[in-house]
């Protein structure tokens, strides 16, 4: 069993969100849906929590009401192998009302923040050469969706 499971608090969209995410991620699946009972606090029979997996990582989505909202203080990073994968996740997560931010960040239609990052960009951002790191950082700071070809050009100078 996974030792730590991220919990995402939704007003009442936990099942919709979990279904949305499992459609986007390969190997995504819903493991279990628990429903509120007469003990409350939700409407009896309504979805309380959804246990789901994305690429083998378990998550829990909770319908907890409008008390808490998502913020950029917590986000999930998607490590992408190439630009095609960046483009796929970027479009899929924006679908239905998401919003672009900057430097590879976006909010999906539920308001949750994601970072869609090519692995190569992370390698270049930690390059031992400070000049490479500076050029790559400057390029990334100007981007919305990350453009791997432009990041590679910046690395080369």
Distance from chain centroid for Cα 91: 12
The domain boundary residue, chosen from 26, 49, 68 = 68
- Residue 119's domain is classified under what CATH number? 3.10.180.10
Render each residue's pLDDT in the chain as its tens digit; 157 residues.
Answer: 789 999 999 999 999 999 999 999 989 999 999 999 999 899 999 999 999 999 999 999 999 999 999 999 999 999 999 999 999 999 999 999 999 999 999 999 999 999 999 999 999 999 999 999 999 999 999 999 999 999 999 999 9
Beta bridge partners of 29: 53
Distance (Å, whole) CA 33 – CA 67: 21
Q: What is the pLDDT of residue 76?
A: 97
> For residues 50 and 58, what is the distance between their CA atoms, to the nearest angstrom?
10
Q: How many residues does the chain have?
A: 157
Whether 103 and 132 share a structural domain: yes
Domain that holds residue 83: 70-157
């Amino acid at each position: 069993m996974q030792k730590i499971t991220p919990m995402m608090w939704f007003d009442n969209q936990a099942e919709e969100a979990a279904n949305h995410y499992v459609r986007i991620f390969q190997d995504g699946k819903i493991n279990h849906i628990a429903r509120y009972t007469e003990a409350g606090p939700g409407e009896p029979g309504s979805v309380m929590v959804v246990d789901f997996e994305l690429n083998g990582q378990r998550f829990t989505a909770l319908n907890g009401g409008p008390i808490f909202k998502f913020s950029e203080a917590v986000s999930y990073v998607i490590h992408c192998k190439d630009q095609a994968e960046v483009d796929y996740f970027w479009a899929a997560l924006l679908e239905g009302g998401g919003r672009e931010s900057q430097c590879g960040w976006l909010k999906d239609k539920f308001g949750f923040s994601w970072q869609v990052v090519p692995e190569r960009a992370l390698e270049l951002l930690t390059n031992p050469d400070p000049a490479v790191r500076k050029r790559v950082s400057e390029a990334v700071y100007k981007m919305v969706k990350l453009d791997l070809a432009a990041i590679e050009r910046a690395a080369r100078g």
